[in-house]
Structure 1
Amino acid sequence: MKPRIHVMHEFATDGMPLSCSYIRLLQPLQHPSIAAEFDISSGLMLTEEAVDAVIVERLWHPHRMTIAMAEDLIATIRAKGAKLIYTLDDNLLDLHRDELHSGFPSEVDRLVVRLLLQAADAVIVSTEPLQQRCLQFNRRVFVVRNQLDERLFPVLPKPRDHDDIVIGYMGTFSHFDDLLSILGPLRSAMRRHQGKVRFEMVGITTNRAVLSLFEGYPYRIVHTGNDYHYPNFIPWARRELCWDIALAPLSDRPFNQYKSEIKYLDYGLLGFAGIYSDNNVYRTAVRHGENGLLAKDDAGWTEALDMLITDRNYRHQLVHNAFADVSQHRTWATQNVHWRDVLHQILD
């Protein structure tokens, strides 16, 4: 009989899974490449049915878990005779630790993460640096890198064939500091190529002070409307985001060293020529000048922007190479063996 696994994913106040839940858990574990070997269920609450393992994601509950809730969840899973698998894709142990006015994560959140890490029979994370951080609390920490569901990206979008250039940046509000880190090179590029370049953002920030820095430049905030849930967001992005160049800066702060290269995967399959921060996160995937450009400092970002703004053929080459790379090597169709092998190791 197939092992039965129940996934308790993070969910928003409307009850829908978060984007990271779709990417990290629901899509790979419901993918045909793994469904034949495991009986997977998922939901907002713990199932009453017998299961071999329960996967608990991050802080799980949108109204914040308390220590008592976490202890009760652990005890209930143990009483079912199931193994507890904890998953984490960000270093919530240290995020905003030195920022007195940050509301997330709270000290209680950190204690809950630590408790779940210590209680888990195994932990699954997305990067090697995060694995090293979690090994301080649990000796069984496995890395399953982020991949994407190829079914959402059936073909490479046709490249834009216009003289104007659209530069884009998308992400959650947690990337606000990352935008600030490249504000100078971005503004100077828009100034040098005035009349040819415009800038678009999805998410990132609603800070009026920051947005005022783009006044006088052609830019716009693109709203997803009701298509912000990940399975709807990707078709929306393929339809609505006609970008030539996409940006993926990561500011030099400790939290970012635990991030994954998910932006490269998104941009690669969406057909955008990407510029990425030259750090350990993106060096694992981006080969400079082949499937994207890496930029270390203001001078590097300026050079990369000018190069892609002025050279259409080079942009198209990067797009083609990135799409081929991600399609062949970074989708669940080709990489779900890692989830399968890790789950078998944990359950054996």
Structure 2
Amino acid sequence: MPKIPRLLVVQRISLSHDRLMSRSIAARFGPLLGYMAHNGMLEWEEIVEDEVTVGQLRRFDAVLFNKHSSNRATDVMRMANDLGLRTIYDMDDWIIDLPMYSVTDLNDDLLANITWLIRQASIATVSNETLQNKLRRIRASVVVIPNGFDHQSLPSAPSTWHESQPPKILFSNTDGIKLVQFRKEFFKVIVEFLERHPDVSLEFWGDGFPEMSRIPRLVSKGFMENSAYKAAIRDAGYMFSIVPLGGREDPEELFFNSCKSCIKYIDYGSLGIPGIYSRSPVYEEAVTDGKTGLLVNNAAEEWAGAMERLYQDQQLRNALRAAAHADTHERFGLAAPARTFLELITGESPA
């Protein structure tokens, strides 16, 4: 019987919230590693970077880093490389050049660490082809591990879907509201919509933002562990979700935003939550307008019209819900990413 490989996930402090562990590691790799462990493909353990020792490293076959930038991360990678372990450095954002809306601040020393980690890792992985093409300027070999959803561990059957009364809208966001030119108008649209419909509340998950106090009936839900969060939003009975992301009206941020993955569509579609998405390249590639979601330009009239349309039309909500659920199950499962990742861990690079 072949040996099951063991993976160490190096945890770190969040880049955007210095009192929390990284949330992006859980969102990016929690579903994939959970799926792989459940199917007997690997065993994995998470240790905070400051606590990793040589003795601990000897228990593993491979070590995973995600957007690490600290001096300690470089020390851990050196130790792992010296032991002959496979080291994987992963990026799901272009953190080398952050947009103005980000609350993360990386100085030159940390940026130099990121570049060193990318180059010294056995393999570099990213979440999409846009990032892959960019990272190939730093190193030649970069493998795409797309984000996905573990539909086995967190099922969402159409028979369980419901809409709560009074109605609730879902909004989630971390590391700054990802709008520049449209930000003020976006929140004006939200406020006016809620003023027109006093029965509706807006449930917000994530990092606080200055405009929160001006939004009527905003309920701040804070944070949960990734799988618990997904279970909570699955069972909440949301009428629909709103997913703003800067588009072509923010040319200086457009490339950074284009490096993001469509993870909110993957999650919301998999959980039966219809959504309105900004016409940014990430969602234009993932969402079929009018079928699996609504795509809107970042303009007040388009956002207001889409929100009113979904509020008024239950048949449309149900159709979007069903189509997105089928689409995300077909395109964003974890079987293929798991096979690719296993090849990386065992040292067999995919073609």
Aligned to 1:228: 224
Aligned to 1:118: 119
Aligned to 1:65: 70
Distance 1:296 1:238, change over 3 A: same
Alignment partners' CA distance in 2, 1:27 and 1:17: 17
Aligned to 2:139: 138
Distance 1:304 1:39, change over 3 A: same
1:9 lines up with 2:10 in the alignment: yes
Task: Report Cα offsets for 1:185-220 as digits up to 9, x if no partner.
Answer: 3233334x333433222224242xx12432xxx422
AA matched with 1:199: L
Aligned to 1:203: 206
Aligned to 1:43: 47
1:109 lines up with 2:110 in the alignment: yes
Give the C-alpha shift of residue 331 in structure 1: 2.5
Aligned to 2:191: 187
Task: Report Cα offsets for 1:209-242 as digits up to 9, x if no partner.
Answer: x12432xxx4222324xx6111322223334x33
1:22 lines up with 2:26 in the alignment: yes
Aligned to 1:170: 172
Alignment partners' CA distance in 1, 2:226 and 2:326: 22
Aligned to 2:83: 80
Aligned counterpart in structure 2 of residue 325 of structure 1, from 315, 327, 331? 327
1:282 lines up with 2:283 in the alignment: yes
**Which consecutive residues of structure 1, in runs of 5 or more, have no partner in the other structure?**
none
1:293 lines up with 2:298 in the alignment: no
AA matched with 2:133: Q
* C-alpha contact 1:268 1:322 (8 A) present in aligned 2: yes
Q: Which moved more, 1:80-89 or 1:7-16?
A: 7-16
Q: Identity of counterpart residues, as a percentage?
A: 22
Give the C-alpha shift of residue 126 in structure 1: 0.6
1:92 lines up with 2:90 in the alignment: no
After TM superposition, the score normalised by the length of structure 2 is: 0.82
Aligned to 1:242: 237
Distance 1:116 1:180, change over 3 A: farther
Task: Report Cα offsets for 1:136-191 as digits up to 9, x if no partner.
Answer: 111111111110122123434422165x5422201224336476562233233334
* C-alpha contact 1:175 1:204 (8 A) present in aligned 2: no
Alignment partners' CA distance in 2, 1:41 and 1:195: 47
Alignment partners' CA distance in 2, 1:3 and 1:347: 19
AA matched with 2:217: Y
**Which consecutive residues of structure 2, in runs of 5 or more, have no partner in the other structure?**
none
Give the C-alpha shift of residue 300 in structure 1: 2.2
After TM superposition, the score normalised by the length of structure 1 is: 0.82
Q: Indicate the RMSD between aligned Cα atoms, in angstroms.
A: 3.1
Distance 1:323 1:196, change over 3 A: same
AA matched with 1:300: E
Alignment partners' CA distance in 2, 1:324 and 1:169: 22
Alignment partners' CA distance in 2, 1:201 and 1:273: 16
AA matched with 2:226: Y
Task: Report Cα offsets for 1:20-65 as digits up to 9, x if no partner.
Answer: 2233224313424785444544433253325443222221xxxx61
* C-alpha contact 2:156 2:271 (8 A) present in aligned 1: no
* C-alpha contact 2:126 2:145 (8 A) present in aligned 1: yes
Q: What secondary structure sits across from 1:290 in the alignment?
A: coil
Length, aligned pairs only:
330
Aligned to 2:305: 303
1:337 lines up with 2:339 in the alignment: yes
Q: What secondary structure sits across from 2:169 in the alignment?
A: strand
